[in-house]
Chains A and B, each alone.
Chain A
Amino acid sequence: MGKPEVRLDEMTREEALQYLNETLKPEEGAIPAYILTDPTIYKIEHEKIFMKTWVLLGHVSEIPNKNDYMLRDLAGYSVIVSRGQDGEIRAFYNMCTHRGMKLCRADKGNKANFTCPYHGFNFKNSGELIGVPLQNDIYGGQLDTSKMSLHKVTIGTYRGLIFGTWNDNPQPLDDFLSDFKWYLDIALGRTEMEVVGPPQKFIVHSNWKIGSDNFVSDSYHTMVTHGSIAQLGMVPSATYSKKGYQVHTDNGHGCLIGMPNPDFAFPEELKDEYKANLTPEQFELLSNLKNLIGTLFPNLSILVSHTKVKGQLISNTTMRLWKPVGPDKMEVMTWFMVEKNASEDWKKRSRESYILTFSPSGIFEQDDTEVFTDITAAASGTMPFAKQLTYNYTMGMHREPVKDFPGPGVAYGDKFSEANSRNYYRYWLDLMNS
């Protein structure tokens, strides 16, 4: 193997970005392999993307009652997401402002106050420091507790989704979600959705972007990676995933819409609710929907799946975060969501189909992580620089967007394309340069 000529870790930040701009050409469908594993890229990504954009923290239904809280992670930092006594949801850095100890270590619970295990400083779940042991004696009444409130995380919500950001001046969440809201509405806002149980978490030795990329544009892999499902008769044929639309919007978001579907994939009795929550165009799409797979930049993927389990068609709705843990490691977090007003039988069967297909044991999910792991290993180290390994993302470049698609964004009338990935990496590159 030749001596590597490029060492991003020996370059200045500007030089590294210049090299990135010379080698990553989204519009030409050229994505260099090193961006998946290089530590310098990972570091810039953390600062420019995960510390700046909106990242999912969870769903309002996970903390339905006053004083409920849950622990989450924002760009690698532990965050308490709490519903106060006033019913309002807030988020704080899980760090005592006195000496930095974690205030909460349970996944979730119900607490009006958080007490630090180190010196007993006590914080209200709205963030104020309200108790310091022996305060008057040891601080002589001089401690200004009003300046020691918990560090607040900026949050925003849409259709029950709670997003957080470390950015003090973020793009408004509404602008960030932009046209993609139309698709989020169908996936997660068609009626009141609730999260069932805790999210499942597992570790994959893979770069996080492979998950986002897979869900933003890659229906093509399903024929082979998920060929077993067709053999088992759970989907009609290996090429079933080609039919439908691929759509992307600003800010890197994109989704794949499988249709048509001769069967209605959702509880019939909720049709009125769907109609009330969606526009006629959205409801029409929902009525014909086979599946909806998408990624909200940077690392939230959503999925509405429709498969045959025990001879009956059933859909399940999930979301997942591809949380970076290192350049070549991520924690996958998956939430199962269901229509709150669906019948108990529907909820039970939908959960059953989720566990069978897209949970950590899911017979779709498990084959994906195998691919993600091997891709990451192949992209590691100096070889991708020395041999300038570049992925081909040119699929569908000859296609023109369709004019008659009812939703916003750029839509193509075929799911097999890499247009969404090109759009995703364009936005990724813009943020890396920001």
Chain B
Amino acid sequence: MSMEMMLATYEFQQWLYREAKLLDDIDFDGWFSLMHPDIQYIMPVRVNKEGVERPDYAEDMFAFHDDHHLLSLRVERLKTDYAWAEIPPSRTRRSVNNVRVEEYVPNEKAVVKSYLLLYRSRSTDIHHDLVSGERTDEFTYVDGEWKLSKRFFVIDQTTINTRNLAIFV
């Protein structure tokens, strides 16, 4: 791997770790400020297919399919007095790993893949939920910062084992 790609990999690892920390710390405004105005935040429905036919996710149905406005609505809603799904907020712990920079144009754009393992604990419930999957993230460089312009999250379960997706993936 070239020195440039090593540095880029490190840079995006740190970006993703910081993002995970903001979400786990319930700093939704801080998290949302990382989004590019053209953000596409997409999570397709995973399906069981015959054999190794791919892709094994739906191309016409999604658990999330948000642009900047819809994503901001979710963030705003979580700040109202009635966002019961997150009162008290879930304790989440996002482990981000296997970060691979697939495309990289310095100071312009990048495509980065990573694995996400998300632990979720609600209230006094001893039961916990795990959400795992792969992200394909596209970044755009704006005013000296990398902003997330597309996230495509493929979850590993066809039946999601959490009561709702009031959390971000």
Contacts and interface: CB of A to CB of B under 8 A. Distances in A.
Nearest to B62: A355
A226 interface: yes
Interface in B34-93: 43, 45, 47-50, 58, 60-66, 69-70, 73-74, 76-77, 80-85
Given A227-B80, A228-B82, A200 B163 contact: no
Given A109-B49, A198-B47, A228 B62 contact: no
Interface residues of B, number: 38
B65 A367 contact: no
Given A106-B48, A107-B158, A363 B74 contact: yes
Interface residues of A, number: 43
B161 interface: yes
Contacts, number: 122
Interface stretch (A27-35, A135-143, A202-210): A202-210
B63 A355 contact: yes
Contacts of B62: 197, 355, 359
Contacts of A387: none
A310 B61 CA distance: 20
B127 to A, nearest CB: 7
A203 B159 contact: yes
A196 B80 contact: no
B84 A107 contact: no
A261 interface: no
B26 interface: no
A365 interface: yes
Contacts of A227: 80-82
Contacts of B45: 197-198, 200
A371 interface: yes
Contact of A109 (B50, B60, B81): B50
6 contacts: A201-B158, A205-B127, A232-B77, A331-B159, A355-B62, A366-B164
Interface of B: 43, 45, 47-50, 58, 60-66, 69-70, 73-74, 76-77, 80-85, 122, 125, 127, 158-166
